[in-house]
Amino acid sequence: MGSRFDEMRIFAGNGNSALAQAVCDRVGVPLGDATIVKFSNENIFIKLNESVREKDVFIVQSLSAPDLSDRVMELLILIDACKRASAGRITAVIPYYAYGRTDKRDQPRVPITARLLADMIQVAGAHQVLTIDLHAGQIQGFFSIPTDELTAMHLLVRYFADKGWDDAIVVSPDVGFAKRARNFAEALGAPLAIAEKRRVQHFGRTDGGSLTSPEILNLIGDVAGKRCILVDDEIATGGSMLEVIDLLEREGAREIYASCVHAVLAGNAAQRLRSSSLKELVTTDTLPIAPEKRWPGLVVLSVSHLVAEVIQRIHSGVSVDTIFQQRNHPALG
């Protein structure tokens, strides 16, 4: 099936330029020429240096730290620039969707920022959204435009499956992630263990409010003498992951590995994980990882082939879902 648009264009903000270039290399098109400038008053200016009139435009932008607010504004301004330049269709490709944890009101007088961000992307002029492993699946429902949520979990499964271990066990870091961890374990052909975690409130703040901190209570499952594979969608500060690592050590785990799709690694998370007993942290390049946050035990798998394949299918009007129905499809690594 041919595209109803004459040509494809792929542009990128500063959120993950390396991934955007890798996607372009796989698709076989040059990265779109755009000027992005941040003025001394912190205003962001963007100019497209090529025509996008009636073109099928894809904007690749991970909403990542540092300068997260700048990344959000770059995405919105790029979309607006393409809309005002008469682009035929605009697809926002967001490998990592920020504010995924604020997907509901879990206490009084708080916003639902994930919904606010979705509204802004639509108002800016995006016709559809492509993202990877949302922190909460219901975020798809915040959009009234077509939204495709891809998964990179199969890349992590394939990595561990290739090791050929017969003593592996998958560990969910909390009950909330247990369903996806179970799917991971079934794909790997391994049993599942679950760390039961509760967050305890502390009313010690000077403003009279409260803070919460994670507390691991117990482990459901037997990990003694086994290779444990912790799996989560993202690692932010690493605090919860380190708590589970300590628990697995106490329970007699033979070796401990961790995997996640999005390596946020905020603050000193990388240093703390590197100093732990973790053998490897396996992740993807949905987010750029600074050189100072890398270490020999960090394995980064690329999602560029998956994103490139889906972009080509969207452009050609071919079903995206069929990729995941073919276990040995090249896009699945």
Question: Please, are residues 192 and 185 in contact by the beta-carbon 8 Å criterion?
Answer: yes
CA torsion 174-177-183-187 (nearest 10°) is -60
Is 197 tagged catalytic? yes
Find tokens 């961790």 and name the residue: 258
Which among 47, 55, 104, 197 is annotated as catalytic? 197
Tokens of 142: 């915040």
Burial of 96 (0-12, 13-18, 19+ CB in 10 A): buried
* Active-site amino acid positions: 197
